[in-house]
């Protein structure tokens, strides 16, 4: 990829990672990008870097615009290594006058790179620096999603460089939202929110309100992953508002894992009952559905119905993985139900129930358990459970 001028004399100089398929547990099945931006002004400023494995893309792109040694300021909006992996090499080449970061950013950089001697300048919300014709205003966004995160706002360009927020893991040759399929773009943005930001939803709500109160004029949001928002600004801001309020649809998921298809038979019967109620529903077999794709569906689903067979006095491993992952992301205000087949002890249902209780789900009791293989009568009860869940979703 070559640099792309996103505003006059302000260039995207990041990297497209076509091959990454796993981002610490998130299935990036269409790759990702690490976005970095270079502002050419009286002071030359680089906003963020890229993952270490993509170092040559960043350096190549910078060199197409200027020499790294000409960079005066490096602005580190976030220290996670997909954005700072190339920082030590860049600092060596550029020898910048200053590295701007939040207080927690400085601490995290010292802990990552063990360099107390770098020219850090700590900034906080409201601090502004001048590059020449343009200025940069900083907005701390603590815990979105690390303590060090911040935004950089350039009023003269009406540009918000938003670090991880508003990102998507999607490798494309296009750089702007209006150059790609909108439905696919929003699917990737939703997946990103569900898997990275969902647990910080109360903070996202606060941030959206404070950005509104600050009255920032914005016509472009440039995240550190994926496409840059310019035509779909209103839509993505509305989506973040909806997602962070944990608004759900009349939608139910049947999420299950099975040993000898008995739990699967139950899952399909529950699905039939849900479908009778005319709500949107999905059947998600954990053998074939990645945990991060399940989370994308969880984002707007009102009811989550979990089923597992019992193995070694517990739930199946993929279900334990799913529940552990989902609990960490804290979906709120959901309705839950539990089912499963077992042979002689049947602890899986009790364990799933306990997880849902801890996650403050409104649980439909009792769990529906079947010994070994469901009878016609058992499956009729499953259909009935589906109907009851469907009615509750519509309440
Ligand atoms: Fe894209 Fe939190 O790093």
Strand, helix or coil at 370?
Answer: strand
Q: What is the pLDDT of residues 295-312, one digit of tens each?
A: 999 999 999 999 999 999
200 occurs within a structural domain: yes
DSSP 143: T
Specify the residue with its C-alpha closest to ligand 1, atom 1: 164
CA 330 to ligand 1 center in whole angstroms: 19
The CA distance from 4 to 162, in Å, is 18
Return the structure tokens found at 134.
């343009």
Residues 258, 206 share a domain: no
Residue by residue, what is the 3-state secondary structure of 328-369?
HHCCCCCEEEEEEEECCCCHHHHHHHHHHHHCCCEECCCCEE
Q: Are 21 and 46 in contact (CB under 8 A)?
A: no
CATH classification at residue 378:
3.40.50.360
Same domain as 192, residue 106: yes
Q: Is the dihedral of CA 292, 297, 302, 306 positive or negative?
A: negative
Distance 293 CA to ligand 1 centre (A): 19
229 and 257 in one domain? no
**Residue 24 annotated in active site:** yes
Separation of 80 CA from ligand 1 center, angstroms?
5
Per-residue pLDDT of the chain (395 residues; tens, 9 = 90+): 899 999 999 999 999 999 999 999 999 999 999 999 999 999 999 999 999 999 999 999 999 999 999 999 999 999 999 999 999 999 999 999 999 999 999 999 999 999 999 999 999 999 999 999 999 999 999 999 999 999 999 999 999 999 999 999 999 999 999 999 999 999 999 999 999 999 999 999 999 999 899 999 999 999 999 999 999 999 999 999 999 999 999 999 999 999 999 999 999 999 999 999 999 999 999 999 999 999 999 999 999 999 999 999 999 999 999 999 999 999 999 999 999 999 999 999 999 999 999 999 999 989 999 999 999 999 999 999 999 999 999 99
Q: Would residue 351 count as lying in a domain?
A: yes
Domain end point (choices 186, 209, 244): 244
Whether residues 109 and 9 fall in one domain: yes
Question: Ligand 1 in contact with 80 (CB < 6 A)?
Answer: yes
Tell me if 327 is assigned to some domain.
yes
Question: Is the beta carbon of 369 within 6 A of some atom in ligand 1?
Answer: no
| 205 to 199, 237, 245, 334, 346: CA distances (angstroms) | 12, 11, 7, 19, 41
Residues 339 and 271 both lie in one domain = yes
| Domain end call among 180, 209, 244 | 244
Distances (CA, A) of 37 to 68, 149, 336: 13, 16, 44
Q: Could you tell me if 258 and 226 lie in one domain? A: no
For the Cβ of 225 lying below 6 angstroms from any atom of ligand 1, the answer is yes
Nearest ligand 1 atom to the CA of 164 is: 1
Note the pLDDT of residue 162. Answer: 97
Distance of CA 303 to the CA centre of its chain: 21
CB 61 within 8 A of CB 3: yes
291 and 147 co-located in one domain: no
78 labelled catalytic: yes
* C-alpha span between 162 and 223 (Å, rounded): 5
Q: Are residues 60 and 203 in the same domain?
A: yes
Residue ending a domain, among 222, 244, 266, is 244
Give dist(CA 228, CA 377) in Å, integer.
54
Ligand 1, atom 2, residue with closest C-alpha: 80
Does the residue 205 lie in any domain? Answer: yes
Q: What are phi and psi of 130, to 5 degrees?
A: -105, 135
| 82 Cα to the center of ligand 1, angstroms | 6
CATH code, 62: 3.60.15.10
Q: 335 forms bridges with which residues in the sheet?
A: 303, 362
Asked if 49 and 71 sit in the same domain, the reply is: yes
Active site residue 365: no
In this prediction the pTM is 0.97
Q: Let me know whether 231 and 299 are in one domain.
A: no
CB atoms within 10 A of CB 215: 6
Write the DSSP symbol of residue 215: T
> Contact 341/313 with Cβ under 8 angstroms?
no
Listed residue (262, 270, 277) closest to 304, CA to CA: 270
User: CA–CA separation, 216 vs 88, rounded Å?
Assistant: 33
What pairs with residue 221 in β-bridges? Answer: 160, 229
List the domain range (segments joined by +) for residue 357: 253-390
- Domain assignment of residue 51, yes or no: yes
CA–CA gap between residue 203 and residue 218 (Å, rounded):
20
Question: Considering the domain boundaries, does residue 395 fall inside one?
Answer: no
Domain count, the chain: 2
48 lines ligand 1 (CB under 6 A): no
- Asked, for residue 76, whether it belongs to a domain, the answer is yes
Query: How deeply is 364 buried, as exposed, middle or buried, from its count of CB atoms within 10 A (0-12, 13-18, 19+)?
Result: middle
Active-site choice (26, 34, 73, 78) = 78
Residue 82 annotated among the catalytic residues of the structure? yes
Residue 188 in contact with ligand 1 by CB distance below 6 A: no
| Cα(262) to centroid(ligand 1), Å | 41
Answer yes or no: is 230 within a domain.
yes
Q: What is the dihedral of CA 103, 109, 115, 120, to 10 degrees?
A: -40
Residues 63 and 181 occupy one common structural domain: yes
Active site residue 225: yes
User: Do 257 and 217 fall within a single domain?
Assistant: no
> Rounded distance, CA 391 to CA 103, Å?
50
Active-site option among 57, 80, 224, 378: 80
Q: Which residues contact 102 (CB under 8 A, 6 or more apart)?
A: 122, 123, 124, 138, 140, 142, 148, 149, 150
78 lines ligand 1 (CB under 6 A): yes
């Amino acid at each position: 990829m070559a640099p792309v001028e996103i505003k006059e004399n302000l260039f995207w100089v990041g990297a497209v990672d076509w091959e990454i398929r796993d981002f610490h547990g998130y299935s990036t099945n269409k790759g990702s990008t690490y976005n970095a931006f270079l502002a050419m002004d009286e002071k030359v400023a680089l906003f963020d870097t890229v993952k270490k494995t993509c170092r040559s893309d960043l350096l190549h792109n910078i060199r197409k615009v200027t020499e790294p040694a000409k960079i005066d300021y490096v602005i580190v909006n976030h220290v996670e290594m997909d954005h700072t992996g190339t920082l030590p090499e860049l600092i060596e080449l550029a020898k910048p006058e200053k590295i701007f970061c939040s207080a927690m950013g400085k601490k995290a950089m010292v802990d990552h790179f063990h360099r107390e001697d770098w020219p850090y300048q700590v900034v906080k919300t409201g601090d502004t620096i001048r590059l020449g014709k343009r200025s940069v205003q900083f907005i701390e966004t603590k815990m979105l999603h690390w303590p060090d995160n911040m935004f950089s706002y350039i009023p003269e360009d009406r540009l918000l460089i938003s670090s991880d927020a508003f990102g998507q893991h999607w490798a494309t040759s296009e750089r702007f939202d209006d150059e790609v399929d909108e439905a696919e773009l929003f699917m990737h943005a939703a997946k990103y929110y569900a898997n990275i930001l969902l647990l910080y939803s109360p903070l996202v709500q606060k941030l959206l309100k404070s950005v509104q109160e600050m009255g920032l004029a914005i016509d472009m949001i440039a995240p550190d992953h994926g496409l840059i928002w310019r035509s779909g600004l209103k839509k993505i801001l509305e989506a973040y508002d909806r997602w962070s309020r944990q608004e759900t649809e009349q939608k139910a998921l049947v999420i299950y894992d099975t040993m000898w298809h008995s739990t699967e038979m139950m899952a399909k019967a529950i699905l039939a009952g849900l479908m009778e109620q005319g709500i949107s529903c999905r059947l998600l077999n954990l053998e074939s559905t990645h945990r991060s794709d399940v989370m994308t569906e969880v984002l707007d689903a009102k009811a989550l119905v979990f089923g597992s067979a019992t193995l070694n006095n517990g739930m199946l491993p993929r279900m334990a993985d799913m529940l552990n992952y989902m609990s960490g992301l804290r979906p709120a205000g959901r309705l839950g139900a539990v089912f499963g087949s077992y042979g002689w002890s049947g602890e899986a249902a009790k364990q799933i129930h306990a997880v849902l209780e801890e996650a403050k789900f409104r649980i439909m009791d009792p769990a529906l358990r079947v010994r070994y293989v469901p009878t016609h009568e058992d499956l009729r009860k499953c259909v009935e459970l589906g109907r009851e869940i469907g009615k509750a979703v519509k309440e």
